[in-house]
Amino acid sequence: MKSEVFVGRVYDQPTDRQATRVLVDRLWPRGLTKARAALDEWCKQVAPSSDLRTWYGHVPERFEEFRRRYEAELAHGEQATSFAHLRDLAGKRPLELLTASKDVAISEAAVLADLLNDK
């Protein structure tokens, strides 16, 4: 049985969904303490490559191309292994993928959640 996978901002207060909280950004969020983040895990290996992240720059018009390139990255190497780990976590209980991005709907967390929810 697969659980719900959803996204959130790491700066927001934890929800009461009893979800596993995983940060999926490559870089630690500015100004955030580990205690305040209240994470179960930091899975930075699943994040987009630095080159892809820099190219994308969270420009909304680039999101679909970012999604395509990021999905291609997730098929290989360390990112593929980390993505499989997230899939395993999602099979056990709800999973909250966290990012520091201001607009989570166009973040790597949204791409990961869609893939894990088979959308």
Instruction: Tell whether pTM > 0.85.
Output: yes
- Residue 30: what pLDDT? 93
* Ranges of residues in the chain whose predicted pLDDT is under 50: none
- Residue 18: what pLDDT? 85
- Residue 74: what pLDDT? 97
Strands 20-23 and 95-99: parallel
Q: What is the C-alpha separation between 80 and 49, in angstroms, rounded?
A: 12
- Residue 64: what pLDDT? 98
